[in-house]
Structure 1
C-alpha cells in the first residue's frame, strides 16, 4: 500500500506539472470568467433597454383634467409599491379613436384608456386587457376617491431569530451549495477523459503500466486533476468574493448554515473532492476503454445525463429532510455529496458527515478498482484474449 501511494504521488506530480506549467492553464483559469462578465454586461444593457425604450405603456386618451387625475393617482401608487409593479401611463392625443392610436407603431401603446375616471374604457387585445385591467381599475379608483394611499407609519420590532425565516434561508444555502458543487464537478471532471485517451494513443500508458501498478496510475491521475481543480477553485472563489464585496458591500452577511460557516466550508471542500473523485474515477474507467476522442464523447454523454438525473434527485431530497428519498440520496454514492452538503446547511449534527465521507471514499476505491480490472482485461490483455466469435476456417479445396 505504501509503495502504491508513493508511485501514485509520482504520477500525480508528473501530471500536475504537465498541466500547470503551460500557457493554456492561464486560459483555463480565465475561461469561465469571460462568459460571466459578458453575460452581466449584456444583462445590464438589456434591462436598461427594456426599462427605458422597449417597455410598453398604456395610452391615456382622456380630457386634460381627467388625465391629470389618472396620472397623479398612478404616481402616488408607484411611490408606495414601486414603479415596476404598476403599469405605466402615457399621455395620448385627445379626442382620438383608440383603435387608430393602437395602430400607430411609433406611439408604442399596448392599450388605450379612454372615457372618464368614473367610467374608463380599456381598448386593446384580449390578452392585454386581461393583464392591465386590474391596474387600470386600481388607478381609476384612487383617482375617483382622491384618497391616494395615505401614509401610515409602521412601527418596527426587529427580532434576532425567526424559525421559519431561518429554515428558508438554510434551505437556500443548501441549494446554492449543491449547484456550485455540481457545476464545478461537471466543468472540471471531464478533463480526466481526454488525458487518458491521449496517453493511450501515445503509448505512454503502457510504459507507465510496466513501471508502476495500474492502480497507482489511476489514483495518481485523479489526484493530479483534483489538485489542479483546487487551484482553479481558489482563483474563481477569490474573484467571486471580490465581486460580492464590491457589489453587495462589506456589510453583506449570507444566511449561516446549521453547522456554522467554518465547518460548512470545510465540508463543501470535502464533498466537492468526493464528487469529483467519484465522477472522475468513472471517467477514468471510460477513458481507459475508449480508443479515440469520438468514442469518449459517445460514452461521456450517457454518464453526463445520468449525473444530471442524480443531481435533480438530490435537489428534490433537500425539501424532505429525514424522508426516504433524502436518505436514499444520501446513501447512493453519486448523489451522496450533493445530499449531504444540503443536510449540513439544515442539520447541525456532524457524525452523519463522517460516515458519508467514509462511504464515498469506499466507493471511489471500488470504482477505481473496477476501472483497473476492465483496463487490464480489455486493453493490456487484448492480444491474449480469445475472440468472442471465431471465424470458421475455410476447408481446403
Structure 2
C-alpha cells in the first residue's frame, strides 16, 4: 500500500480478481455454463454408443452362390479354410442354390428376390465364374473371388508356405504417426477450451458496463488494475471449469473402456505433456482474453460485442489451422513461424511436446509468449482505460461543455 493509503496496481488487481472470481463462481449462470459441455459430452457418447450398436446389428453384405453342388461346396470349404489366413479378404458366402446337372438359374432374379443381405451373386462354375451385382461391389470383390475360385479349383489348395513371424512392438514410422495423432488431439482440445472459456470475459464486461459497475471501480482504483483483475479472475474461473469438466468427463471416458494406453505417449511423457497443456492454455488464454477485454471496452451492447469479436474469432481459427498445418512439417520454416506468432505459438509448442523430447525450446517459447502476454495485456489495459473512461451516455455532452468553457475563457 502506498503512503497515501491507496492500493498499488497489483493489490487492486487482486481485489478485483477475487471479487469477480467469487461472484462468477457462485452465480447460477456459471453452474449452467458448466453443465453445457457435460450435456454435450453425454449426448455425444450416447450417440456414439447407439451408432456402434446399430452398426454391429446391421447385417454384413454377403456373396450369394448359384453353382453346381460340387463347386458350391468347394467354394464354401475354401472360404472357411482361408478365414484365419486372410481375415477381411474372403467375403462371407451364402449358397442360394445348388444346381443339378443340366439345371440353370438366373443370377439377377435371385439377387432381386433374395431376402438375405446379398450384395452380389456368383454363378457359372469354378472354371468360368460370373459375378453379378452393383458396380461397386463386383469391382471390390473381383480379385477376392478370383483368389477364392482359383484356390478351390487347385489340385493342391492347401499348398501354402508356412510364414515365420518376427513381431516388434512398434516401428519408428508408426510411432511418429501415432504421436502426430496425439499432438493433433492436444491442439484440438486446447483450442476448444480457449474458445469456449474466453467468451465469458466479454459477457461479464458488457454486463458490468451496462450496470455502471465499471465506472464505480474506475473511481476507486486504477483502470489498469481493473483490466488485470478481470483477466486473471477469468483465468481462475476457467481452471475451475476445466477441473470440473475433466473430473466428471474422465470417469465417463474411462467407463467406456478408454484409457491413455490407447494413445501413443507423447515424446515428453504424459505428466510433462499435461503440464505443458496447462501452461500453454494459460498463455493463450491471457493473450486472447486481453483482446476480448479490449473489444468489450469498445462495445456497449451484446450485438456490438458479437460484431467486433467475430474477426478475432476467425483470426484465432486461422491460427489454429496454421499451427495444425505446421505440426506436420517439423523443423521447417513453417513450424518456426508458427512458434513465433503469439496466437499460434501455444498450439504449435504443445504439438512439439508430443513429437520431440527436447525441453529447451519450450523454455524459450514460454519466455517469448510471456513477453507477448505482457505487451498485449499492457496495450489492452491502456486502450481499455481510454475506452471505458470515455464510455457512457453523457460523454459527448461533457466534451462539448468543456469545449464551450474553453472558448469562453
Q: TM-score, normalised by structure 1?
A: 0.85
In structure 2, the CA distance between the partners of 1:47 and 1:250, relative to structure 1 (3 Å rule), is closer
Q: Report what 2:92 is aligned to.
A: 88
**Higher mean displacement: 129-138 or 98-107:** 98-107
* Cα shift readout 1:294-331 (whole Å, capped 9, x = no counterpart): 22222333222221211111111112222111100000
In structure 2, the CA distance between the partners of 1:100 and 1:352, relative to structure 1 (3 Å rule), is same
Q: Report what 1:188 is aligned to.
A: 197
Structure 2 distance, partners of 1:355, 1:78, is: 55
Equivalent residue pairs, number: 385
Structure 1 distance, partners of 2:263, 2:59, is: 35
- Cα deviation, residue 269, structure 1: 0.8
Aligned match for 1:201, one of 202, 210, 220: 210
- 1:216 paired with 2:250, answer no
- Cα deviation, residue 128, structure 1: 2.8
In structure 2, the CA distance between the partners of 1:93 and 1:293, relative to structure 1 (3 Å rule), is farther
Q: Report what 1:72 is aligned to.
A: 77
Q: Report what 1:38 is aligned to.
A: 43
Structure 1 distance, partners of 2:159, 2:295, is: 66
Q: Report what 1:147 is aligned to.
A: 157
In structure 2, the CA distance between the partners of 1:48 and 1:348, relative to structure 1 (3 Å rule), is closer
Structure 1 distance, partners of 2:363, 2:269, is: 16
CA RMSD of aligned residues (A): 3.0
Aligned match for 1:53, one of 46, 49, 58: 58
- 1:120 paired with 2:124, answer no
Q: Which secondary structure state, in structure 2, belongs to the residue aligned with residue 31 of structure 1?
A: helix
Contact 1:10 1:220 in 2 (8 A): yes
- Cα deviation, residue 347, structure 1: 2.8
Q: Report what 2:33 is aligned to.
A: 28
Q: Report what 1:395 is aligned to.
A: none
* Cα shift readout 1:12-46 (whole Å, capped 9, x = no counterpart): 11111122213443443333233333223332332
Q: Which secondary structure state, in structure 1, belongs to the residue aligned with residue 132 of structure 2?
A: strand
Aligned match for 2:313, one of 301, 304, 307: 304
Q: Which secondary structure state, in structure 2, belongs to the residue aligned with residue 80 of structure 1?
A: coil
- 1:135 paired with 2:144, answer yes
Structure 2 distance, partners of 1:97, 1:72, is: 24
Contact 2:293 2:384 in 1 (8 A): no
* Cα shift readout 1:136-170 (whole Å, capped 9, x = no counterpart): 223223322363685846444546x7544443343
Structure 1 distance, partners of 2:26, 2:335, is: 43
Q: Map of 1:150-161 to 2, 5 A cutoff?
A: 152=162, 154-156=164-166, 158=168
Aligned match for 1:11, one of 13, 16, 27: 16
**Higher mean displacement: 21-30 or 357-366:** 21-30
Contact 2:91 2:144 in 1 (8 A): yes
Which segments of 5 or more consecutive residues in structure 2 lack a partner in the other structure? 2-6, 99-103, 401-409
- 1:111 paired with 2:116, answer no
Structure 2 distance, partners of 1:254, 1:77, is: 32
Structure 2 distance, partners of 1:45, 1:67, is: 38
Q: TM-score, normalised by structure 2?
A: 0.83
In structure 2, the CA distance between the partners of 1:291 and 1:51, relative to structure 1 (3 Å rule), is same
Contact 1:289 1:379 in 2 (8 A): yes
Aligned match for 1:352, one of 361, 364, 368: 361
Contact 1:329 1:335 in 2 (8 A): yes
Q: Report what 2:298 is aligned to.
A: 289
Q: Map of 1:254-265 to 2, 5 A cutoff?
A: 254-265=263-274
Structure 1 distance, partners of 2:68, 2:226, is: 84
Q: Report what 1:268 is aligned to.
A: 277
- Cα deviation, residue 334, structure 1: 0.1
